[in-house]
Structure 1
Amino acid sequence: MAAEKFAVEPIARIVGGRIEPTDDYWGGSRAIIRIDEGRFTPAATKGLEKFSHLEIIFRFHLTDPTDLNLGARRPRDNPDWPEVGIFGHRNMRRNNWLGVSRCRLVKVDGLDLHVEELDAADGTPVLDIKPWFSEFGPRGEVKQPTWTTQMLGLYFADPAEAQAKQGTR
């Protein structure tokens, strides 16, 4: 298969929220997706306030480009979980360094989209913004291995709540 190359330009950047990507505790995080005002007017966001959720495609800009394993490895290097290939997990060490996240839209303010639980760090380049249509969700039975549920149990936990729970143990 011949490799095809193409250029992609960010249309927005993440402002605020987390300053570095982490494996867990994205619950309660708030950020702004600031759309490029040099290319877009507020007309680009017209009608978006009617949606509760967005799907964001972004570039993992903070990941070390030399940290890419095209084969199989254990998720989070946990010896209790099976080795899976690069396409069997969703971490930031990806070909093309692309991420996809679904987040809650809190408010539209011109070209600023205020969101919650977007698992992308401050400064992240945004490549596309799409409203979430429930009709595009999975059809049919959804299945996944148990290690994914174990791994992601705290992914969208609120960090303050998680710390409080750990402090009571």
Structure 2
Amino acid sequence: MTAEAFMVEPVGHVVGGRVEPTDDYWGGTQAIIRIDADRFTPDSTKGLEAFSHLEIVFRFHLTDPTDLHLGARRPRDNPAWPEVGIFGHRNMRRINWLGVSRCRLTKVDGLDLHVEELDAVDGTPVLDIKPWFTEFGPRGEVSQADWSTTMLSDYFAPER
């Protein structure tokens, strides 16, 4: 397999909400996804208000590029949890620094999408915006590692 590089241009940026990425307490976080008005018109959001949730692809722009770990490591460096390979994590220490988040859409105001519980911080480049379709959710039985359930127990709890 050969390496293939490609360029991705943000369609917008996160405005407001958190200013620092943290591991937990994203519940109730409110922000705006501001779509680039130089390239898009309000027609680009037409019909979006019919959806309750969006799936957002973004770039972890605050990640230290020297802090990558492509092998296995313990989630949150917790010695009680097993070593897990890079593709068994969803954290920001990734080769392409891409994140995916599902958030609640509360309002469409032209090119401003008001959202809740988007776990991206102010200034985050947004690479793509997709409405959430129930039919694209998991099919069949869902399972996950016990450590992930424990680790994420406060992830969407209200901010303290």
Please indicate, yes or no, whether the TM-score normalized by the shorter chain is above 0.5.
yes
Give the letter for the 1:114 counterpart: H
- Partner of 2:102, secondary structure, is strand
Provide the C-alpha distance between the structure 1 equivalents of 2:158 and 2:70, rounded to a whole number of angstroms: 32
Give the letter for the 1:95 counterpart: I
Residue of structure 2 in register with 1:123 after alignment: 123
Residue of structure 2 in register with 1:36 after alignment: 36
Provide the C-alpha distance between the structure 2 equivalents of 1:136 and 1:95, rounded to a whole number of angstroms: 26
Structure 2 unaligned blocks of 5 or more? none
Question: By how many angstroms is 1:93 displaced?
Answer: 0.5
User: Hey, which bits of structure 1, 4+ residues long, moved more than 6 A?
Assistant: none
Give the letter for the 1:87 counterpart: F
Per-residue CA deviations over 1:125-150 (Å, capped at 9, x if unaligned) read 00000000000000010001110000
Give the letter for the 2:126 counterpart: V
Structure 1 unaligned blocks of 5 or more? 161-169
Provide the C-alpha distance between the structure 1 equivalents of 2:70 and 2:133, rounded to a whole number of angstroms: 32
Structure 1 residue 19 corresponds to structure 2 residue 19:
yes
Provide the C-alpha distance between the structure 1 equivalents of 2:145 and 2:50, rounded to a whole number of angstroms: 35
Residue of structure 2 in register with 1:93 after alignment: 93
Per-residue CA deviations over 1:54-81 (Å, capped at 9, x if unaligned) read 0000000001010001100000000000
- Partner of 2:49, secondary structure, is helix
RMSD: 0.5
Give the letter for the 2:73 counterpart: R
TM-score by length of 1: 0.94
Per-residue CA deviations over 1:1-53 (Å, capped at 9, x if unaligned) read 11001110000000000001100000000000000000000000000000000
- Partner of 1:122, secondary structure, is coil
Residue of structure 2 in register with 1:136 after alignment: 136
Provide the C-alpha distance between the structure 2 equivalents of 1:159 and 1:19, rounded to a whole number of angstroms: 13
Provide the C-alpha distance between the structure 2 equivalents of 1:145 and 1:2, rounded to a whole number of angstroms: 32
Give the letter for the 1:33 counterpart: I
Provide the C-alpha distance between the structure 2 equivalents of 1:52 and 1:44, rounded to a whole number of angstroms: 17
Question: By how many angstroms is 1:95 displaced?
Answer: 1.4
Provide the C-alpha distance between the structure 1 equivalents of 2:53 and 2:141, rounded to a whole number of angstroms: 22
Provide the C-alpha distance between the structure 2 equivalents of 1:70 and 1:156, rounded to a whole number of angstroms: 27
**1 or 2, which has the higher helix percentage?**
1
- Partner of 1:87, secondary structure, is helix
Tell me the number of residue pairs that the alignment of Structure 1 and Structure 2 aligns. 160
Residue of structure 1 in register with 2:111 after alignment: 111
Provide the C-alpha distance between the structure 2 equivalents of 1:124 and 1:89, rounded to a whole number of angstroms: 20
Structure 1 residue 72 corresponds to structure 2 residue 72:
yes
% identical aligned pairs: 80
- Partner of 1:57, secondary structure, is strand
